[in-house]
Amino acid sequence: MDEHMIEQVGGQIYTFGSYRLGVNQKGADIDTLCVAPRHIDRNEFFTTFYEKLKKLSEVKELRAVPDAYVPVIKMTFDGIELDMLFARLALQAITKEQDLCELSLLKNLDEKSVRSLNGCRVTDEIIKLVPQQESFRLALRAIKLWAKKKGIYSNVLGFLGGVSWAMLVARVCQLYPNAAAATIVNKFFLVYDQWKWPQPVLLKHPDSDEAAKQGLSFPEWDPRVNHKDRFHLMPIITPAYPQQNSTFNVTNSTRNIMTMEFKRGLEVTNAIFAGKDDWESLFKPSDFFTRYKHYIVVIAKAATADHQLEWNGLVESKIRFLVANLESIDHIILAHVSTESFCSKSEDDEQTKWFIGLEFGRTDNVNINLTDQIRHFTSDVYHKAVNIQLYKDDMVLDVLHVRKKELKNYLPQDVYNRVGLKKKSFVKRNSLSMSPNNDTGGNSPDVNGHNEVRKLEIICLWVEINLHLGDKREKKRRLFVR
């Protein structure tokens, strides 16, 4: 290819997810997509481009996952966490004006490129399908903050990720097109408290007929055709062709936990609109570490930071299978995985811990043996690590069953003090009063939600600041323990 053609072929970086929707938090990662013309293939992205990134001083914690369901390069660039996908289009050149929503672009693409494109296509479809952008964004900010505080924001652990929460909020906006953001939040809990899962959440009818006219036949979510789709517990279907279920990781336990939180959220927001409570109550953190009498501790160890980064990713991706295994035990009612993990470093190794709370039914003095489920989980993780050539001799996985009183032996001291066995108020009353009696709301609820919108904006900002400060404290704590 001559130099003139090289200058003309172009290539673009697109953003999607929370950043593209305008609801990203300070310090949060950014989802990006590198779109290249037909002259460049995926192998070059994961080799030549990857090697160029390694040489940049701004790039830290670089790792490639080319064999993932959606292949990705992960990195921290100038302090900002980035996930970068790759798609190769069957075009001579990629211009700045290139619209990724055109169905014709999917012709002659492989499935990995289609999956990579889907992030941008889904995000843009959500934006198009929402009646009022401003109300949607504030309501989504609030719901995302609520989900994080309640420990139910994590696709990899079997809860919901950012795109799923966005689609749930978008559907409520469609149902209540003229509602203010605060009302949308209340209706969100009303709708999903009453939702008859596994009835799917859909933002639009599938584009299958139009796709077929253009000769496209990529696999789509359709329980009438695909046997596996019938077993999805909480389907939330993406609005861009090929439509997929964004929540296939959900387990019985994680769905039960989320539906319980929907019910609690409805009770709190009803009380807020009745003038009997305030928005702070909605964002109270989860009581995970005081809720259960028994816990499973999953500990991943490795001798070096690079090995630990790889080992962490694999172990975390498999924890939902351990949850499913534990659910299969007759006497276990609930296996609740915490979305918060804890890293530390000693002279010998670096390690990360995850916790699963167990709720038992009536056991009538039956001795419940968890050995088989734990052994199956650890064996599966080691086997997978060997198969994908990730395993190193210094990688260790321990899984322990402990009682609540033993948590002090596994949680960092500052975390144990924070979550532990002493309940603390969510916010000091004199630091930022959001009570129904203050001058922004009065004693009577605002039927149009305008005063509540202002309150919601303030409390969302406050929670975001505290989450960001908490992340910074956690990073400092990790540096300190190292």
Neighbours of 19 (CB within 10 A): 17
Kindly indicate the confidence band of residue 2, based on its pLDDT and cuts at 50, 70 and 90: low
Kindly indicate the confidence band of residue 206, based on its pLDDT and cuts at 50, 70 and 90: confident
Kindly indicate the confidence band of residue 482, based on its pLDDT and cuts at 50, 70 and 90: very low
- Is residue 226 situated within a structural domain? no
- pLDDT value of residue 430: 36
- Is residue 308 situated within a structural domain? yes
Least-confidence region, from 19-28, 113-122, 239-248: 19-28
| Per-residue CA distances from 318 to 8, 314, 370 (Å) | 44, 7, 17
Mean pLDDT of 336-344: 95
> Which is more confidently placed, 307 or 348?
307
Q: For residue 100, how many C-alpha atoms fall within 13 Å in the half-sphere facing its CB?
A: 30
Least-confidence region, from 175-189, 238-252, 407-421, 450-464: 450-464
For 19-92, list the strands marked E by DSSP: 30-36, 59-65, 72-77, 80-88
- pLDDT value of residue 58: 95
- Is residue 328 situated within a structural domain? yes
Containing 334, the helix (H) or strand (E) segment is strand 332-337
> Annotated binding site for Mg(2+): which residue ranges?
29, 31, 83
Mean pLDDT of 41-67: 93
Which range of residues forms the domain containing residue 444? 162-200+245-285+426-481
- Is residue 44 situated within a structural domain? yes
For 107-266, list the strands marked E by DSSP: 201-202, 236-237
- pLDDT value of residue 68: 85
- Per residue in 79-99, pLDDT (tens digit) is 999 999 999 998 888 888 899
Q: Is the pLDDT of residue 47 over 50?
A: yes
Query: Same domain, yes or no, for 196 and 261?
Result: yes
- pLDDT value of residue 369: 85
Q: Is the pLDDT of residue 333 over 90?
A: yes
Q: Is the pLDDT of residue 454 over 80?
A: no
Q: What is the mean pLDDT of the chain?
A: 87
- pLDDT value of residue 298: 98
Q: Is the pLDDT of residue 437 over 60?
A: no
Query: Same domain, yes or no, for 180 and 268?
Result: yes
- pLDDT value of residue 477: 37
DSSP annotation of 278 reads: -
Query: Same domain, yes or no, for 166 and 261?
Result: yes
Q: Is the pLDDT of residue 48 over 50?
A: yes
Query: Same domain, yes or no, for 453 and 334?
Result: no
- pLDDT value of residue 440: 34
- pLDDT value of residue 292: 95
Q: Is the pLDDT of residue 316 over 80?
A: yes
Q: Is the pLDDT of residue 30 over 60?
A: yes
For 37-164, list the strands marked E by DSSP: 59-65, 72-77, 80-88
- Is residue 100 situated within a structural domain? yes
pLDDT above 70 covers what percent of the chain? 86
- Per residue in 72-81, pLDDT (tens digit) is 999 999 999 9
Query: Same domain, yes or no, for 295 and 404?
Result: yes
- pLDDT value of residue 174: 98
Mean pLDDT of 422-436: 39
pLDDT above 90 covers what percent of the chain? 68
- pLDDT value of residue 3: 61
- pLDDT value of residue 108: 87
Mean pLDDT of 167-195: 97
- pLDDT value of residue 481: 35
Query: Same domain, yes or no, for 277 and 334?
Result: no
- Pick the closest to residue 357 from 377, 340, 382 (CA basis): 340
What is the rounded distance in angstroms from the CA atom of residue 118 to the CA atom of residue 243? 9
Least-confidence region, from 92-96, 142-146, 243-247, 319-323: 92-96
- Is residue 156 situated within a structural domain? no
> Annotated binding site: which residue ranges?
16-18, 29-31, 83, 144, 153, 162-163
Identify the CATH number of the domain in which residue 409 sits. Answer: 3.30.70.590
Query: Same domain, yes or no, for 38 and 112?
Result: yes
Query: Same domain, yes or no, for 399 and 340?
Result: yes
What global pTM score does this model have? 0.86
Query: Same domain, yes or no, for 293 and 415?
Result: yes
- pLDDT value of residue 458: 75
Mean pLDDT of 99-109: 91
Q: Is the pLDDT of residue 424 over 80?
A: no
What is the rounded distance in angstroms from the CA atom of residue 139 to the CA atom of residue 134? 9
Query: Same domain, yes or no, for 301 and 280?
Result: no
Kindly indicate the confidence band of residue 468, based on its pLDDT and cuts at 50, 70 and 90: low
- Is residue 324 situated within a structural domain? yes
- Is residue 208 situated within a structural domain? no
Kindly indicate the confidence band of residue 277, based on its pLDDT and cuts at 50, 70 and 90: very high
- pLDDT value of residue 288: 95
- What is the per-residue burial (b if ≥16 Cβ within 10 Å, else e) of 20-35? bbebbbeebbbbbbbb
Mean pLDDT of 200-209: 89
Least-confidence region, from 17-31, 307-321, 437-451: 437-451
Query: Same domain, yes or no, for 89 and 102?
Result: yes
> Annotated binding site for ATP: which residue ranges?
16-18, 29-31, 83, 144, 153, 162-163
Query: Same domain, yes or no, for 383 and 430?
Result: no
The count of structural domains within the chain is 3
Q: Is the pLDDT of residue 426 over 50?
A: no
Kindly indicate the confidence band of residue 359, based on its pLDDT and cuts at 50, 70 and 90: very high
Residue 396, amino acid: V
Given phi > 0 = left and psi -120 to 50 = alpha, else beta, which region is 17?
Answer: left
Q: Which residues belong to the active site? A: 18, 29, 31, 83, 144, 153
Given phi > 0 = left and psi -120 to 50 = alpha, else beta, which region is 468?
Answer: alpha
